Structure 1
Amino acid sequence: MTSELKITMLGQRGVGKTSILTAMYEQFESTIGETGLQLTPDAESSALLSKRLGELKALLNDFEATGGLEGTEEPQSFTFGLGKLGRKPNIQLIFQDFPGGYLQSHLEFVDKIVKECAAVLIAIDTPALMENNGRWHDLMNNPKQITDFFKRTYADLEEPKLVLLVPVRCEKYVQNEQDAKKLLDRIKNKYSGLLRLFSSEDLLTKVACVVTPVQTVGTVFFSQVKEIDSRPHFYFRKIDHNAEYSPQDSDQPLRYILRFVLKLHLDTKRGLFSSIRRWFGWDEYLKEAARKSAEKCKYTGGFEILQGQDRLDIKK
């Protein structure tokens, strides 16, 4: 029997949610795949991710480029089978993406999805957060709206949840520990309302929150922003003319998700959270592979567990 794990992705249109998935899938074999796990997208997801991969690599055709890929205008689901190499998958991972505007126009739809999900991934446009003292952050990342969304959907929360804050297009800001600390400090400041909510009495023991930057191209760095018709246009440059597509840390969100879910599974076996049954299908191989994967979760260079360490600690 295949278990099902749902993950929601939040973020404004075009911020890079699909780019995260594309980099994660493309790099899986050389990262988490070393544990003997296999990640297999369904036919529709495979076709779309292959198209997106080509578009990401095409960004490197020009020395200077603007932004990234065009965002989706309709909800999209990406389905992956996860299991032992050469076997049928034990788990189906379903990543649900929807346009940023849905947080305003389709509240009931989004609420329902998030309540079903074990994890939520919030994609953050890093140049908008960091440049000009975060002048474009509210416009591009809409942190207040996201905070209000969680106030509503996480009220009376019964099951533990994982929230990943994922800075994208962050290459410029994580090249050394000093810059990475500035990024972390800015996230803590600009998302203080959301973090305050998560640390409230009713949510502190139920919500784990982690910052996991992803360099979705790896060799394209922010260079400048121009204001045109009252909107920012971000420009990026390759590190050199021969630079190739080389994403960094695209494995980290999935490593943290697997770590969180394995912890839930083990706690369920010990009698805690008895309402959580959907991970009982895990075999010993998958559990051991998840443990090995968790050992490579990062904690420096812009990565930090902001809350819920106990939700991520795995003990044999």
Structure 2
Amino acid sequence: METVYLKALMCIWGIFWNLLIVVAIYTDSVLRKSSTFLLLSAHFIACAIDVGSRLVFDVPSEILNRPLFRLSQNYTDFPTKLFHFTTYSGWFFQLYTLIAIAFSHIVAVYVSLYYAKMNPKKTIYLIFALILLSMFSVSYLWGNFPILFYTEFWGWSEDRTQPWVQFFFNLNYVVQAIVFFCLFLADVMIIYKISSIKKSAVERSVTVSAVNQPTNSSFSRSKISTELKVSLNFIIVSLFLLTQTLIYNICTLYDTPLCLFLLFIAPIFRGSKCLAYLVSGSALRTAIKNLIFCRKQF
């Protein structure tokens, strides 16, 4: 029973940090103009909804040792279905936003470094498209497999006989691991590219007089430094998430105390990605400080 309350505290902790970071991003005039941080804020909103639905449904169900809602005999009532739809939609949206961020990083490596200058309005359109895609994915899966409920069990099981259902559920952590690994490699390439640009900029600043456009030079160095910090953020976060996916893929194959312990602490890696941003992202830390101390940014 103590683990149930610990799970509830972890859910509350995750919701707090997710919402705090989202509010900090939207109240900061610089971060909310970045397509990367807009996608990231949408990802954190989906995380908060996912964790919140588990706090509302999973935790009381485990405490009562039965489903929270008993409005129908086979538990196919509307609140239970709404919980499934919300949870699965949030999960798909988290995955799709990470894929979009990873794709933008790959584009940054091979096309243009300053992908973050993308129009925020277009990014919002992309977010709405990802929401519709997530809802379509859940609707497609519901049309291809039934969710079965049993009176002797407080949970549910899925009949995963369709090929795409197998792909989305049995291989979902493998797909996530591939995405996070690609994201990690892309960020390594971005840092290498930024470092070479920064080095060449320093070499040029030695030969060019400080009188010739000093403002533009400092602005370029500041923009390069910002992109470097963003890439460091995503390297740390992708490593956190990659560790989580590896735990879910490997430890489920072995029934040992170590594997069970790693499976128990695996959700901590998901919640700690918020802390990873705070550790490595000075821009986000500043935005949160401004939010907490009610500082206005001009």
Q: Which has the higher helix share?
A: 2
TM-score for the superposition, normalised by structure 1: 0.28
- Relative to its length, the structure with more strand (as a share) is 1
Which of the two has higher C-alpha Rg? 2
TM-score, L = length of structure 2: 0.29
